Amino acid sequence: MLQLFIGNKNYSSWSMRPWVLLKQAGIPFEEVLVRFDSFSEGSRFKTQIGQVSPTGKVPALVDGELAIWDTLAIAEYLAEKFPEKHLWPTEAKARAIARSVCAEMHSGFTALRSNCGMNIEASLPEIGALIWRDKPAVQADVNRLVEMWSSLLDTHKGPMLFGEFSIADAYYAPVCSRITTYTLPVPAHIKAYVERVMALPGVQAWVKDALAENDFVPFDEPYRVKGNAAS
C-alpha cells in the first residue's frame, strides 16, 4: 500500500495537498505522521523524514522501494498510476492549464504563504486585516488568485476549477484554508468556491484531524502564544 509521510495537519500546507488528493479520489494509502518538533539537523523530525526524503521535508510518498518527495511529482505519479481517477482534466488544453496553475502555486504566492501561514485551528481575522492593510504583496497575491479562479470557474462552469475535482483543487485547498483563517477579502463568487473546497469530504477529513491534534508548535505560530485548545 502507498505510504504518505506528512507533517502536522494544522500547519503543513504542502502535506495537505497530496493527502486531500488521495482521500478525495478514494485511493487507499497509509498515513505516516512526522510531528514538527524542530527543523534543525539532528531533530527527531529531520531524522525520521530523512529516512525517506533526501530533502528532509514533508510530504513524501513511498510506493514499495520508490520514494517521491515533491508534491507536484507526487501528483503526477498518482495521475499516471491511477488513470481511471482522472486526477487531471481529460481534455489536453485544460490539462496544460491545470499543470500551469499548479506550477504557479508551487513556485509563487510567496507573500501570501509567508505572511499567512496555514493554521486550521486558529481564527485570525484581526491579523488578516492588518496584513491586508500593511502588505501590498499579499493583496497582489490574492488579486492574482481571484483573477485565476474567476477565469477557470467561468470557463469550466464549476463547481471546481476545472469542472470536477482535480489536482488543481487539491493544490489550492491550503490557500482556501488561509483565506478562511485570516478572513481575507475576496468577491462573493470566490468565497463560494472557497466554501465548496472546504466542504469537500477529503478536506473535511483533514480539518477534523487537524482540530483533534491539540498540538501547539510555537515556531509555526507567529501571531499567538497558545492555541485555542490551550485556552
- pLDDT tens-place string over residues 156-208: 998 999 999 999 999 999 999 999 999 999 999 999 999 999 999 999 999 99
User: Is 66 found in the same domain as 22?
Assistant: yes
- pTM score, whole prediction: 0.94
Q: Is residue 228 part of a domain?
A: no
Interval 213-223 mean pLDDT: 82
Task: Report the pLDDT value the prediction gives residue 222, as an integer from 0 to 100.
Answer: 85
Is 220 in contact with 117 (CB distance < 8 Å)?
Answer: yes
21-42 pLDDT, tens digit each: 999 999 999 999 999 887 788 8
User: Is 99 found in the same domain as 77?
Assistant: no
Task: Report the pLDDT value the prediction gives residue 231, as an integer from 0 to 100.
Answer: 41
Average pLDDT across the chain, whole number: 95
User: Is 102 found in the same domain as 70?
Assistant: no
> What span, in angstroms and rounded, lies between the C-alpha atoms of 97 and 88?
10
User: Is 180 found in the same domain as 117?
Assistant: yes
Q: Is residue 218 part of a domain?
A: no
67-120 pLDDT, tens digit each: 999 999 999 999 999 999 999 999 999 999 999 999 999 999 999 999 999 999
Q: Is residue 210 part of a domain?
A: no
User: Is 102 found in the same domain as 187?
Assistant: yes
User: Is 102 found in the same domain as 76?
Assistant: no
> What span, in angstroms and rounded, lies between the C-alpha atoms of 1 and 62?
9
H helices of the chain, in order, are 13-25, 44-49, 71-81, 92-107, 110-115, 125-134, 136-156, 167-182, 188-199, 201-213
Task: Report the pLDDT value the prediction gives residue 229, as an integer from 0 to 100.
Answer: 55
User: Is 47 found in the same domain as 12?
Assistant: yes
pLDDT > 70? residue 230: no
